[in-house]
Structures are given as C-alpha cells and as structure tokens.
Structure 1
Amino acid sequence: MNFDEKDDYYAVNFEGLDCAEIEIEAKEFDNCTFTKCDFSEAHFKKCKFIECDFVNCNLSLAKVEYS
C-alpha cells in the first residue's frame, strides 16, 4: 500500500496490508478498520487515528511519534 497518494482516509477498510518497516508520515485515518495488517517495526510520524479499529494486526516494535 502506498500511503503517499492521499493525506486523509475516511471509513476505509484495510485488509492484509504489509506495512512492515515502512515510515508513514502526516496521515489522518478517521473511522477506518485495519484487519490482519502487518505494521511490525513501522514508524508512524505525525499521524492521527480517530475512531479506528485494529483487528488481528501486528504492531510489534512499531514506533509512534507526534501522533
């Protein structure tokens, strides 16, 4: 998944994303659902997660800064 396309995501259902070891910066996720996504060692910087659900996701060693 390339999060460079947009800055804001509303009511999007993400399933099976492989975002391990990537940097995601200055994105806003509102009312989104993440199912079976791999965010291990991902780096979230200046991101907002509003009313989001993470279902069976891997967030091991993920870093969250200024969020």
Structure 2
Amino acid sequence: MVDTLGLVLMVVVTAANVPEQAGAKLVFARLHKIRNWVNRLVVIWVDGGYQGQDFIRFVILSAHGLQELP
C-alpha cells in the first residue's frame, strides 16, 4: 500500500496462491493493528481483482473515514 506520493505505507508478503482480496485484508488488519492508519484513509484505488460485495463491505467497515472507493 502506498500513499498519494508513492511512499510505502505497508507491505505484506504472502504466498503466490493467496487471493488478492485475502492479501488486502491482511494489509488492512496490519494497518489497523500496528499504526491505526486505516481510519485515516479517505480514498482507496484498487484494480479489478478487488471486486465483490463482501470485499467492499469489509473495506467500508474497516476504514471508517473512507469517502470514496472508485
């Protein structure tokens, strides 16, 4: 995960067989646990691998200040 300047906020390394959404959930969990940055997120840009109502619901519940998930 990077910020708008491209600076790295968090890196999570997983096995190649871990789905993108599962990896993203790990990133959110670590951001919340270690730095509590999840509540500071305003916009999250993702690619097509992060689709589905379950994932969107997870992101909205995890990032309370989120204003946009394009």
Normalization by structure 2: what TM-score?
Answer: 0.33
Structure having the higher Rg: 2
**More strand as a share of residues:** 1
**More helix as a share of residues:** 2
